[in-house]
Structure 1
Amino acid sequence: MKVKLFFSIVFSLFTMTAFSQVGIGKTTSSATLDVAAIATDASTAEGFIAPRLTGNQLTAKNAQYGTAQNGTMVYVTEVASATTGKTKNIKSIGYYFYDATAESGAGLWIAFADETKEQFYVPTLLLPTDMYSLPDNTYYTAPATNRFTVNLFGLFKEQLGNPKASSNSIASLQTGSNTATDYYYFILYYDTTVYTSVSVTTAGVMTYYLVSGYTPSEKTFMNIMLREK
């Protein structure tokens, strides 16, 4: 009996090593997890189903998600009631992944890309370099020497709401949302020989500093994008 038990353990360990890549519905695997269709005809439904939870159920599990759960995927069946914390962005049904690095390491559930969400470049903006000659005092500030702030969302709304010319006098442009925090903000490019320490808040306010002794060139601009949450 002891001999049989020993061989059973050895065989089990060998099996675990040999099948470190798992195949479901097939004898060989081409990746860590390789799932084969049960049938290719119309007789079965194929695919895999992620864990299904409501937004509030996921909120109740906040403490269970940390660094080790980074990249975890779930399918949310109802929006979350929470307006703060890890599930504050769960505003629609669908797939979400957990980003443990977001919110300064506090973690955040983020929706997978949704083609129905707006995603676009911010219209051309003036980026001042003289704190005494700001384009206006509503969307621009210069709180310190060589430091400037720009209200990206405010300028975006202002430009859409006040076109300088139009092919149709009764047509209008509008944002998908009137709330700055309903968008993510991305600084895709900036001239590093002129601008430095560029950052943007969740409210769409960008801050940048000027490099000492900078010289502007044809590369002195920024590319900025917004994406609806």
Structure 2
Amino acid sequence: MLVCLSALSKAQQGRVGINTTTPAATLDVVATTTDNARPDALLVPRMTRAQLLAKDAAYTAAQNGALAFITTIDGTATAKTTNVTAVGFYYYDGQTTNTWIAVGGTTAVAPVSVKNLSATYTILPTDDILLFSNTANVTLTLPATGFPVGKRIYVSAGGTADINLSPAPRENALVNIFSTFSATLMYTGDSINPWSVVSGL
């Protein structure tokens, strides 16, 4: 009964204390240093990347600042989880980028993705460099959603045939990357023409 009254009292004050009757903040967790057999720490939600990306729709501006610990890198990254590339702590930026960001840095350090291609292909959020060696014209599909705004992808037409961009980028006349030429594409998030050619061609 006394414990309940004490908890109610602290809740009414807008503060919660664990191992203390005088919490110094909204939540004050005090270590039990006299018991070395008991671990003292704060555990945040732990899940795999696949489990986190399955909850994509649940994270909006209201979850800005949410913290999670990723235990395993599995599944295919989405726009929100594109920075989740290593085990560790991540917080959700629901105001600026709408992505999970590694604690201690703006993004998790990830290797550059380089793919060698010779056939029709659809760009993925994890792509960085696409090197084509096609001998017949192929189509490079530019998805309308699923990419963070500002995402850039370098495309090289190193084969003997052209690469057709579909749908057309904002620069409607630039629908092909001709053989032996290259271009850098950027995702703008525009509802009509979400991709733009920022260099090349």
Calculate the TM-score normalised by the size of structure 2.
0.48
Calculate the TM-score normalised by the size of structure 1.
0.43
Q: Which has the higher contact order (CA 8 A, sep 6+)?
A: 1
More helix as a share of residues: 1
